[in-house]
Amino acid sequence: MSTTREQNFEALTERLRPQCEAMVAQYEEKRSALLPIMHAFQEHEGFVSQQAMRWAADFLGLTPAVVESTVSFYSLFFRKPVGKYVLQVCRGLSCTINGAEEIMAAFREKLGIGHLQTTDDGLISYEEVECLAACDRPTCMQVNLEFIYDLTPSAIDDLLAAIRGGTCAVKPMAQTEKPGSTWIVGQDGSVSEGRKSPGATGVSDPNNAGGVGDRSGIIMLDRFVEMDSSFVARTRERLVRDAGAVDAIAHEEVNHAGH
Ligand code: FES
């Protein structure tokens, strides 16, 4: 028997299906609709759930790994529930030399949480982000992607009071599930317990598959260093053969030049 979560998700996909089909129709390639589709799910669920990623993979004919790697690349997608208000304070160069440190310290103190954390009541998530491309108006931040410029400590008090009092001009995000203390994937013990997300199924090390520090690459180097003798012998044979061919060509050229 399906759970309420599954029933709600099914109802959501039925509602979003026509919109998703319209998105697909706008592109030459079906897969190009992936980002707008994921945005649509995030708008309705407040985050991009595993079900949403699986549904998008089926709908677009992609593998779960492609969908998950795309979604995890963009920091504007949350793969776990977040607060109704996501506060993103810029810590870029222009903002930093104009007081971002003080602003960030004030947020941390007033919220009682740190970077990438959510308040216990699930209302506010807080993040310190790289340059928001509004360097001429430091210090700046975004609240649910709406800009706030020229921040001061007293502006922070006003903002938090408005959010808590339900009078903030910025619309709250959807919240279909209560958030945990952070939305970082892999911080809830699921990785250490050996559970893999659908996109990582079949990948030997989802955190570093084939990457620079991938242990399998080091093992490969070790193999070359301690090369087994049959391989070395084959390599030598080839070198000898090729060297012979090079000598022959060189000899021929010398003879040709001499006539
Ligand atoms: S450094 Fe803050 S917007 Fe660029």
| Pairwise pLDDT comparison (89 vs 193), residue with the higher score | 89
Domain boundary (26, 53, 79) is at: 79
Among candidate residues 48, 79, 110, the one where a domain is terminated: 79
Residue 150 Cα to ligand 1 midpoint, Å, equals 11
195-209 pLDDT, tens per residue?
Answer: 555 555 555 554 444
| pTM exceeding 0.85 | no
The candidate with the shortest Cα–Cα distance to 89, out of 109, 115, 117, 124, is: 115
148 three-class SS: strand
Q: What is the CATH number of the domain that holds 114?
A: 3.40.30.10
Q: Is residue 132 part of a domain?
A: yes
Choice from 88, 89, 95 to test ligand 1 binding pocket (greatest atom count within 8 A of CB): 95
Q: Is residue 18 part of a domain?
A: yes
- What confidence score (pLDDT) does residue 258 get? 60
Whether 170 is in a domain gets the answer no
- Give me the sign of the Cα torsion angle 129, 199, 179, 35: positive
Closest to 35 in 3D by CA, of 52, 12, 11: 52
Phi, psi of 143 (to 5 degrees): -115, 115
User: Are residues 64 and 98 part of one domain?
Assistant: no
Decide if 178 is inside a domain.
no
Instruction: State in Å: Cα 207 to ligand 1 middle.
Output: 30
- Domain co-membership, 97 together with 160: yes
Residue 64 within a domain: yes
Report the SS3 class of residue 75.
coil
Q: How sure is the predictor about 254, in pLDDT bands with cuts at 50, 70 and 90?
A: low
Instruction: Quickly state the pLDDT bin for 240 (edges 50, 70, 90).
Output: low
Task: Render pLDDT for 104-138 as a digit per residue (tens, 0 to 9).
Answer: 999 999 999 999 999 999 999 999 999 999 999 99
Residue with CA nearest ligand 1 atom 1: 92
Which range of 180-189, 204-213, 236-245 scores highest in mean pLDDT? It is 180-189
CB atoms within 10 A of CB 80: 19
Last residue of a domain, one of 59, 79, 99: 79
Of residues 182 and 193, more confidently modeled: 182
Task: Output the average pLDDT for the chain.
Answer: 83
- Same domain for 56 and 103? no
Residue 212: is its pLDDT beyond 50?
no
- Mean pLDDT for 220-232 is 54
d(CA 176, CA 8): 10
- In terms of domains, do 27 and 45 share one? yes
Query: Does residue 176 lie within any of the structural domains?
Result: no
pLDDT in tens, 161-170: 999 999 999 9
175 in a structural domain: no
The one-letter amino acid at 25: A
Confidence of residue 237 (pLDDT cuts 50, 70, 90): low
Mutate to test the pocket of ligand 1, among 104, 132, 137 (most ligand atoms within 8 A of CB): 132
Tell the burial category of 1 from Cβ atoms under 10 Å away from its Cβ (0-12, 13-18, 19+). Answer: exposed
Q: How confident is the model at residue 3 (pLDDT cuts 50, 70, 90)?
A: confident
Closest-lying ligand 1 atom to the alpha carbon of residue 134? 3
Name the band, by pLDDT with cuts 50, 70 and 90, for residue 227.
low
User: What's the domain count of the chain?
Assistant: 3
Same domain, 59 and 91: no
CATH number at residue 33: 1.10.10.1590
Report DSSP state, residue 181.
S
Residues 7 and 71 in one domain: yes
Q: What is the pLDDT of residue 52?
A: 97
Ligand 1 atom index nearest CA of 90 = 2
Among 19-28, 92-101, 192-201, which stretch is predicted with the lowest mean pLDDT? 192-201
Q: In sequence order, which residues have a C-beta less than 8 Å from that of residue 231 and are 6 or more positions away?
A: none
Q: Which of 140, 141, 149, 150 to mutate to test the pocket of ligand 1 (most atoms within 8 A of CB)?
A: 140
The pLDDT of residue 97 is above 50: yes
- 100 and 44 belong to one structural domain: no
| Separation of alpha carbons 100 and 163, rounded Å | 21
Query: 58 and 115, same structural domain?
Result: no
Cα 151 to middle of ligand 1, angstroms: 12
In terms of residue numbers, what domain contains 235?
218-258
**Beta partners for residue 148, in sequence order:** 141
d(CA 125, CA 113): 9
Pocket of ligand 1 (CB under 6 A): 90, 92-95, 131-135, 138, 140
Ligand 1 atom at minimal distance to the Cα of residue 93: 1
Does residue 106 sit within a domain? yes
Q: How far is the CA of 211 from the centre of ligand 1 (A)?
A: 31
Which whole number is the average pLDDT over 57-76? 93
Rounded to the nearest whole angstrom, what is the distance from the C-alpha of residue 250 to the centroid of ligand 1? 63
Q: Greater confidence, 90 or 239?
A: 90
Predicted pLDDT of residue 191: 44
- The closest-lying atom of ligand 1 relative to the alpha carbon of residue 139 is 2
Ligand 1 atom showing the smallest separation from residue 96 Cα: 1
